[in-house]
């Protein structure tokens, strides 16, 4: 039984991780979360109070981080500013949280000799051409496009440097696009599902040819658990489930599954610097750690996600209007 400190545990992936961990192990969990617009208290409802604690605080707060890391056995680091579009409007919180926050955690981990897992993104590798047979691997050169992905790339490099120079015990994972329950409605899939539920037409950036490599959030988290248990320190593991699909096809699938005409969406302004395609080669994770995804069928996982948003309007309704108002300002 371990004491696990989860940063950003009130966000999308972190909250699903905490629910899964507490339901399937005897571990105790402390979440540190600054409860930004993306930290949702309701995402942590129903957790066992004897094994779970939420500390509202900033990962850049060195004394607080030092105390929490000293108390923990393992630190799993999800906290970040995570949305590309926001990083184009105002990069500054991305630099602060993703770089300074990660640095603050690394210093505490170094001082107290604790195991660290850093959750990162495939976007650090830049993008691929649509017809390129290559996929990202752990040796693909870093080439990030947006302030978000550049700040995540910098945070990865900090972790690697702390392993090499200071000998901390840490692993890294770089995952592709997640979908599933409790994802903020600013993100592509929940935005379109909740648009349909609100009678708003879904919004496709540009022509919608951009490809993302979709993975269910539970599969991302099961891979993170495998890496924490069996991964080698200093190693980077890419997480993906062979789920490449372009945005136009995803929007049309959502409309079809929700009983709407498949052309009932709007083309809106494209994202500046929009990455064309992401694709993950997961063979290191599969061959070395024996990981397999549970959600092999994207359409089934998407249907389950649509059902979750239909059944949990109380969860997403409070954030919907403000999110759409923000997009309307930039013609998206």
Q: Which residues of the shown chain bind ligand DAU in the complex (CB under 6 A)?
A: 82-84, 121-123, 176-177, 187-188, 191, 203-205, 210, 212, 247, 271, 278
From the list ligand NAD, ligand DAU, none, partner contacted by residue 54 (C-beta under 5 to 8 A by kind): none
Q: Which is nearer to ligand DAU, 114 or 191 (CB)?
A: 191
Query: Rounded to the nearest 10 degrees, how much is the dihedral formed by the CA atoms of 139, 160, 153, 10?
Result: 120
Q: Is position 148 annotated as part of the catalytic site?
A: yes
CB of 164 to ligand DAU, least distance (A): 24
Query: Measured between alpha carbons, how far is 211 from 250 in angstroms, rounded to an integer?
Result: 10
How many other CB atoms are found less than 10 A from the CB of residue 138?
A: 15
| Set 122, 127, 244, 252: catalytic member | 122
Query: Measured between alpha carbons, how far is 281 from 134 in angstroms, rounded to an integer?
Result: 9
Query: Is 146 among the residues that bind ligand NAD (CB under 6 A)?
Result: no
Question: What φ, ψ does residue 321 adopt, rounded to 5°?
Answer: -65, -45
Query: Is 18 among the residues that bind ligand NAD (CB under 6 A)?
Result: no
Query: Is 44 among the residues that bind ligand NAD (CB under 6 A)?
Result: no
From the list ligand NAD, ligand DAU, none, partner contacted by residue 173 (C-beta under 5 to 8 A by kind): none
Fill in the DSSP letter of residue 28.
E
CB of 192 to ligand DAU, least distance (A): 7
SS3 179: strand
Strands laid side by side in the 170-175 sheet: 52-56, 28-33, 3-7, 74-77, 115-121, 170-175, 236-239
74-77/203-205 β-pairing: unpaired
From the list ligand NAD, ligand DAU, none, partner contacted by residue 59 (C-beta under 5 to 8 A by kind): ligand NAD
Angle at 315 between CA 240 and CA 309, to 5 degrees: 55
CB of 85 to ligand DAU, least distance (A): 6
User: Which structure tokens are listed for 100?
Assistant: 């300074």
From the list ligand DAU, ligand NAD, none, partner contacted by residue 36 (C-beta under 5 to 8 A by kind): ligand NAD
CB of 322 to ligand NAD, least distance (A): 15
Decide if 13 contacts 220 (C-beta within 8 A): yes
Q: Which is nearer to ligand NAD, 28 or 151 (CB)?
A: 151
| Set 81, 123, 156, 324: catalytic member | 123
From the list ligand NAD, ligand DAU, none, partner contacted by residue 28 (C-beta under 5 to 8 A by kind): none
Query: Is 145 among the residues that bind ligand NAD (CB under 6 A)?
Result: no
Q: Which is nearer to ligand DAU, 58 or 123 (CB)?
A: 123
**Chain centre to alpha carbon of residue 325:** 23
């Amino acid at each position: 039984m371990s004491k696990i400190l989860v940063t950003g545990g009130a966000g999308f992936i972190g909250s699903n991780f905490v629910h899964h961990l507490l339901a399937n192990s005897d571990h105790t969990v402390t979440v540190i979360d600054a409860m930004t617009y993306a930290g949702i208290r309701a995402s942590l409802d129903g957790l066992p109070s004897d094994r779970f604690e939420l500390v509202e605080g900033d990962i850049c707060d060195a004394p607080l981080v030092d105390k929490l890391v000293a108390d923990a056995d393992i630190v799993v680091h999800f906290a970040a500013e995570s949305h590309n579009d926001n990083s184009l409007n105002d990069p500054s919180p991305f630099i602060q949280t993703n770089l300074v926050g990660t640095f603050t955690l690394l210093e505490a981990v170094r001082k107290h000799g604790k195991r660290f897992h850093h959750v990162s993104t495939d976007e650090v590798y830049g993008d691929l051409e649509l017809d390129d047979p290559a996929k990202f691997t752990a040796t693909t050169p870093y080439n990030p496009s947006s302030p978000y992905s550049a700040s995540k790339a910098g945070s990865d490099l900090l972790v690697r440097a702390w392993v090499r120079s200071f000998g901390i015990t840490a692993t890294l994972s770089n995952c592709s696009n997640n979908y599933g329950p409790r994802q903020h409605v600013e993100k592509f899939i929940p935005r379109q599902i909740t648009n349909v539920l609100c009678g708003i037409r879904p919004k496709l950036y540009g022509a919608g040819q951009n490809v993302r490599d979709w993975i269910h959030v539970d599969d991302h988290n099961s891979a993170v658990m495998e890496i924490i248990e069996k991964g080698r320190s200093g190693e980077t593991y890419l997480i993906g489930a062979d789920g490449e699909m372009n945005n136009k096809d995803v929007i049309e699938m959502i409309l079809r599954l929700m009983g709407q005409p498949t052309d009932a969406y709007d083309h809106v302004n494209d994202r500046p610097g929009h990455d064309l395609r992401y694709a993950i080669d997961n063979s290191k994770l599969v061959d070395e750690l024996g990981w397999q995804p549970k959600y092999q069928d994207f359409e089934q996982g998407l249907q389950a996600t649509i059902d979750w948003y239909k059944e949990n309007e109380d969860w997403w309704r409070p954030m919907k209007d403000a999110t759409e108002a923000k997009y309307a300002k930039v013609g998206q």
